[in-house]
Each structure stands twice: as structure tokens, then as C-alpha cells.
Amino acid sequence: MKTQVSRIVLGSLICLALLTTFSTSGAQPPTSSPPTEHLRLDVSEPPPPIPEPQMAPLRARALEPLPPGTGFIPPPMDLSHLTGQKMPKGAVPQALPDVFDWRNKDGNNYVSPVKNQGNCGSCYTFATIGNFEARLLIEGESLFDFSENNAKECNWRELNNFQYPNPGDYWGSCDGGNAFMLASLFSQKGTVLETCDPYQDSDVNCNPNCPYQKTLLDWRIISGDAVPSTQVLKQYIYDHGPVITSMYADSGQGFNGSYDGSYTFNYTVPPGNTNHAVLIVGWSNNLPPVPGGTDPADGWIVKNSWGTGWGDNGYFYITYGAANIGTSSSFIHDWQDYDVNGDIWYYDDDGWWGSWGYNNPTAWGLVKFIPPEDTKVTRVEFWTTDATTDIDVYIYDDFDGTTLSNLLASKENLSFDEAGYHSVALDSPLAVTAGDDVIAVVKFTNESYGYPIATDPHGTVETGRTYMSLSGSGWTDMGVTHNTDVAIRLRTSKGSVPTPNAIYLPLVLRNHPAPPPRWVIILSEDFEGPFPGSTWSVSDNDSNSGLYYWGKRDCRSSSGSFSAWSVGAGDTTLSCGNDYPNDVFAWMVYGPFSLADATAAELLFDWWSETELTYDMFFWGASIDGNEFWGSYVTGDWSSWTMGERLDLSNVYHLGNLLGEDEVWIAFVFGSDSSNTYEGSYVDNVVLRKQTGGGTRRSQSPPSLQRVLQPNQTMEFVGLRLSQAGIQTIR
């Protein structure tokens, strides 16, 4: 049995669970068999032969080479039965607005910043993680920046030298993928932060040492191999947030580096052809015209993963159904905080890879686990291959290969309106003992699809562990007979059971107290687009050695291809790696912006610096007059990227709390004296954000540097004046 530690969450707002009750036993579980209607046999007659399960056909289409900057590979299962023609459960019939955009929903932005996949076929990680980050914002949590690098390097296929579609075709981390792979990874383990595992657009090693943040519990498929109904897809976006989807990126139709957002894509390709994963965030009937047209276009607003310098600040527009957009649409539905005391037991290392059944909408799956320690089972988890009309879940104490006995728990009459990955919570954790087997049984009844059991043939296939049955009696050992594992899992925890997100109603229909304040992005700058443009003001206030400015360069970056180098522009263009000149006082300023309505605000960024110790410096700070800036400066050798540096604008050195100020500026400053030069300083991935609503939060203590300095490093709080010529700190 494979196990991975993961968080378990139970709890709030599980509307489907209101229809059922879950019973668990105490120290003496009742002895019981499966439902009797499945076991009535006349002992005077020989038992009927056990029906033989069949595997659903896989998709016939061969894989095509992926264009640069794409990376979507559809799963191997034929999902043509998932047509996307049915409205989401609980949706109220209504006329949707002509324009809807999750970047501006009731004045709030619920979409995380655009990122850049670079020269790597990892689009599926950006689309899936972008969906996860947006769902968290919609649910009132802070802005998370999860690691796409960890997702592409630490999934099962990359870690196990998976070969597909042919033997010898090794699956590299930049060779593409899909949301199925990440649903499996995030449910087995979880997401990690970008700051722990920064993105690299190449095949590198998995970093297994990052702490997990969120664990996936439920992921739902809107459409498989077909473009869904436009109205259905709009309703899902309206109810549940931005949607992961795929399309065919055709450079011959302008879907390339030249696109500037001035027109709306409107080209067709053969049905089913897709190669790129993106995130639909909304729609509009007032988009730029299609090529050759003059009237406003009607279509989707889509977040790409090619940086903010591409398209319209990283976004593009496309008419409904063009380029097969909408194919393979899905969304993350439920999750929990990662549980350090938790585990998950499973045999489907690679998740859902095949669908099995009896050409009948109903089939039973059984998985037997041997607990490695005393713990408590909290959830039963599984994949569904279609929308279901009935799901019944049982946990038994014994199974001898033929007969189940000692029923420990059951939960019946469930259903899920979408195929995907699902989690059923126990009302009370079920104690299990190390070495004493526990058996999870699930009866699946699909709406129509005759192959209800998801399986995985990859990794070490188990024998005597996973089984299928047509009726709940007469079991087929899938490892022995078909070399595959049934994909049913048990989630456990030795600690207190956490609370899941567990939202089962459309988000716009929920009536609960106002959510906590959400982050509103004021500025997001990854230096992949035009710089300084109208966003930044750059200057050099010391002209003794000529003028040198902060400039966009590809010398170093914490992610993507570019960052701002402290002497990247000016009278002379320096080559990457050159030392900075003497007598530079280079400023990069943004503002003014308002914090009048803010209850919290912060500046986040990545930085790298190498300067003369004590005499040359890199500074970041804030101002309320646009001239006198207060903050931190460093000198010496900081020549590795510091990720996620934070300036709390409610607690700025000397200035104190800036919340409530009508005008605020932030600045990055580099200064050198008249001797001894090094490479200088770099800044990347700048995010300036605020929260609004609720009471103002004020810091109670002055800011602290909280750094362990090396002998070749200094760091201090200081002030600088933009009006000064040359470095003169104020304290």
C-alpha cells in the first residue's frame, strides 16, 4: 500500500450530505454482510459464473507534437460521453449578464496574477493552479502563489520515468500533461508555495522538502472531448469561478508571440483537437473585433500563461467555441488545509487512467488496505467516470476474497452531478488498528456510461487488494486478472479532524455572513512585458559617471525570463554580468496609489543583490509625499534570490501605519559610491495589494528586520530622499 501524508478536512456546508447519515461502530462493530438483495443464492444450485469486467475503449487519436509554449495532453480515456450540455446542479434559471469578469466581480479581483510558463510544456499546471488560487480568493482566503514547478516535477509520471504513448517515450516535466495528473497529485499530497519551489522552464529535479499548503478533496469535469454548451459553461463560471479548459493554439492564426489583445480570435479546427490549457475568467459581448471585422465580438475572456507582456496584459479574447475552446473543462470544487497528522491510502499511483465495467451503469469496487499504524479513517475518496445517480459507500472489517463481513460503517444514496474526483466524509472518525485490514467498498451507478470503475495500471499493481463486481457478490481480483488497480482511497488522521471548504451550492446563491476582507491587486509586475511604460518612474540622481537606470533585462530572474536590473538601462547598455559603474543613484518608483479604504496592505517581491559591503546599497521603502522614502537597505553579498520579501504598509519604519492615506508611493533604489563595484541588484515578481472592508488593523510594535546576517552582509532601516543627488541616508 502506498501512503502519503495529507490534510483531512470535514465539515461545513455539505449540502449533499444532508440527505444521508453515516453510522460508525464502537469497539464492537456489528457483524453484517453487504445489502441482502445482492447475496440471495439458492444453495441447492451452483453459483452463477462471475461476470467478466471489460475496459472502455481508449481514445484513438494519436498525439501530435506540441507547439512551443503549450503543453496540454488529453487523458487517454475516451470521454466523449461528457458533453457539457447539462446545467450545474442548483443553478437557478436566469438571464446571465452580457459582461462578466472575475477580475472585477463587485469591485474585487478574484484572479491571481498572470505568470509565464516560458519554454516548457507546462500550461496545464498554470491553468489548474490558477483555478485553485482563484477559488481560494472567492472563498475569502488570502492570495496564494502556488508552485507550478512543484506540480510539473513532483507528479507521479515525472517521478517514475513514465513512458507514453510508446515504450521509450519518456514523459519529461516539460512534455505536457493535464488536470487529471494534478488532481491526483494534489489529493495525494497537496500544493506548495512558489517561494519554496520557484518556477524553472526546464526539466529539473522535484523538491520534496516544501511544506504542503492545501489538499484537494473534490475536482469536477464539465466536459470531456466536446465543446460544451456556451450557456452551460457560462453558468459554471458564474456559479463556481474561473474554469480550466483547453483549446488549439494555432500560431498560423496569430496565436503566437505577436498577439497584442487588439482583436478576438475566431478560427476553427477539427473537432477534438486541443494542445493548450488556459483559464476562462469571464465573457463579454463587447470584445475587440475579430480579424477583418469592425463590430464588437462576443466571446470568452481568457487568462494565458505567457506573461503580462503578451496579449492584453496576459489575457486574450476568443469567440465561443473557436479553436475548440471549452473542451476538457473542469474546476476544483473542494479542498482542505494540509493535515500534518494525516495520511491517504491508495493503490492508484497515477490516478484515473482506465474505465472498467460490465456495459452497465452499475458496478461495485472494493479495495483492501492493511493499516501501517493505529489511526482513524475520516474519508472515502474515489473517481467517478460519469455523472452518477447513486453512490453507496461501505467500510468492512473482513474480506476473504469472496465474502465481506463485519460492516463498520455505511453511507448510501449519494450522487455527484459531475465526473471527477470526490471525497465522502465520515460523520465520526473510524478507529482502525495497525495490521488489521480494513475494506472500502463503493457501489457506483452512472447516469448512462457503462464503465463506472476508474482504475490505474501504472506503478506496482497489487494482487489480492482491489476487486470489481457487477452485483456486490462474486468479485474479480483486478490485479490478478487485468493487471490494474481499482481507484478507491481512504483518508486518515491521527489528529483532530480539520474542516473542509465543502461548498456544494453555487457560490452566488449562498447566503452566509459577509466573507473576510479579500486582497485587491494594485500592481502586479513580473517584468515580462513593456518596462517602464507608464507604470514606473525611473531616474538616476547621480550623473558623475553618466546616467544609469533600472531596466528590464534577461540577465537573472526568479521566474520567467526577465527581471529589473539596477543598471539595466542608461547612457551605456551594460552586458549581463558586468559590474555596475561608480556614482549611481538609480530610483524605480510607483505611485501614487490610495490606501484610504485599506484595512491591510503589503508589498511583495523577489530580490537578488551583490554590492560593496557597507558603501553600496539596495533599498526598498514607501513614502506619503513622493520624496522622502522610508524602509530597509542591504549591502554586501546577497547573491541568491530572496523570495517573497514583504513590506507591511501598516507598519513602515519611521512612517508607521499608512492605511487610510490618500496617496502612497513605493520605491526600489540602488546606490554606489566612487569605488569598488560588483554586479548590482535585481527585482522580480512585484505584487502590491490591499484589503478593504472590516476594521482597520494596526500594528502594535515597530517593524523588525528578523534576519540572521552573515559577516559579508548588512541590513538597516533608513530613509532616502528622491530629491537628493547621490546617496545620503536619513535616520
| DSSP type of residue 29 | P
Cα–Cα nearest to 206, from 197, 216, 194: 197
Q: What DSSP assignment string belongs to 138-165?
A: HTTPPPP-B-HHHHHHHSHHHHTT-B-S
- Cα–Cα distance between 523 and 271 in angstroms, integer? 39
Residues with Cβ within 8 Å of residue 253, at least 6 apart in sequence: 265, 267, 323
| DSSP type of residue 91 | P
Cα–Cα nearest to 100, from 264, 260, 285, 228: 285
Please say if 482 is a catalytic residue.
no
The active-site residue, picked from 304, 446, 541, 651, is: 304
Cα–Cα nearest to 664, from 718, 625, 707, 700: 625
Residues with Cβ within 8 Å of residue 582, at least 6 apart in sequence: 544, 545, 672, 673, 674, 675, 677
Residues with Cβ within 8 Å of residue 534, at least 6 apart in sequence: none
- Cα–Cα distance between 425 and 411 in angstroms, integer? 9
- In the chain, the largest separation of any two C-alpha atoms, in whole Å, equals 106
Q: Are strands 548-553 and 563-570 parallel, antiparallel or unpaired?
A: antiparallel
What stretches of 425-502 show up as alpha helix (H) in DSSP?
A: 478-482
The active-site residue, picked from 123, 154, 210, 555, is: 123
Cα–Cα nearest to 493, from 633, 609, 340, 624: 340
Whether omega before 165 lies within 30 degrees of 0, making that bond cis, reads yes
Q: Are strands 375-384 and 488-493 parallel, antiparallel or unpaired?
A: antiparallel
The active-site residue, picked from 276, 333, 422, 458, is: 276
Q: Residue 338, by phi and psi: left (phi above 0), alpha (psi -120 to 50) or beta? A: beta
Question: Hey, what's the cell of 704?
Answer: 523588525
- Cα–Cα distance between 36 and 14 in angstroms, integer? 29
3-state SS class at 490: strand
Q: Are strands 243-247 and 276-287 parallel, antiparallel or unpaired?
A: antiparallel
Question: Hey, what's the cell of 666?
Answer: 513605493
Residue 370's alpha-carbon distances to 375, 453, 481, in angstroms, are 12, 22, 21
Cα–Cα nearest to 225, from 361, 350, 56, 111: 56
- Cα–Cα distance between 69 and 74 in angstroms, integer? 16
3-state SS class at 607: strand
Q: Are strands 327-337 and 420-432 parallel, antiparallel or unpaired?
A: unpaired
Q: How many other CB atoms are there within 10 angstroms of residue 621's CB atom?
A: 25
Question: Hey, what's the cell of 727?
Answer: 546617496
3-state SS class at 326: coil
Can you give the C-alpha Rg of the chain in angstroms? 28
- Cα–Cα distance between 563 and 578 in angstroms, integer? 16
Please say if 276 is a catalytic residue.
yes
- Cα–Cα distance between 455 and 350 in angstroms, integer? 9
Which positions are catalytic? 123, 276, 304
